[in-house]
Amino acid sequence: MKPSLVFRFSFAALIALAVVGPAQAQAPAGAIPLSVLRKYQEKRLPALDALKISGVVGENNQGFVEVRGNGGDSAANLVADENHDRAVVYTLFARKYNMAPEQVGLLRARKIAEKSKPGIWLQAPDGTWYQKK
Partner 1 sequence: MNAEIFPAACGGVSKGKLGRRPASSAPVGPGKPLGGSLASSAGGKAAFKCRLLFCAAAWPLAGCVDVKPIEVKPIHVIVDVNVNVKVDKSLDNYFDDIDEKSTTIAPDAKPAAQPAPAPVPAAP
User: Is residue 108 part of the contact set for partner 1 (CB under 8 A)?
Assistant: yes
Tell the smallest beta-carbon distance from residue 130 to partner 1 (Å): 15
C-alpha distances out from residue 104 to 61, 74, 117, 126, Å = 11, 27, 22, 18
Residues 25 and 43 sit within 8 Å (Cβ to Cβ)? no
User: Is residue 133 part of the contact set for partner 1 (CB under 8 A)?
Assistant: no
Judged by CB under 8 A, which of 3, 117, 126, 127 binds partner 1? 117
- For partner 1, which is the closer residue by CB, 41 or 83? 41
User: Is residue 52 part of the contact set for partner 1 (CB under 8 A)?
Assistant: yes
User: Is residue 95 part of the contact set for partner 1 (CB under 8 A)?
Assistant: no
- For partner 1, which is the closer residue by CB, 97 or 126? 97
**Distance (Å, rounded) from C-alpha 133 to C-alpha 105?**
23
Q: Of 102, 105, 106, 133, which is closest to residue 117 (Cα–Cα)?
A: 133
Residues 64 and 85 sit within 8 Å (Cβ to Cβ)? no
User: Is residue 32 part of the contact set for partner 1 (CB under 8 A)?
Assistant: no
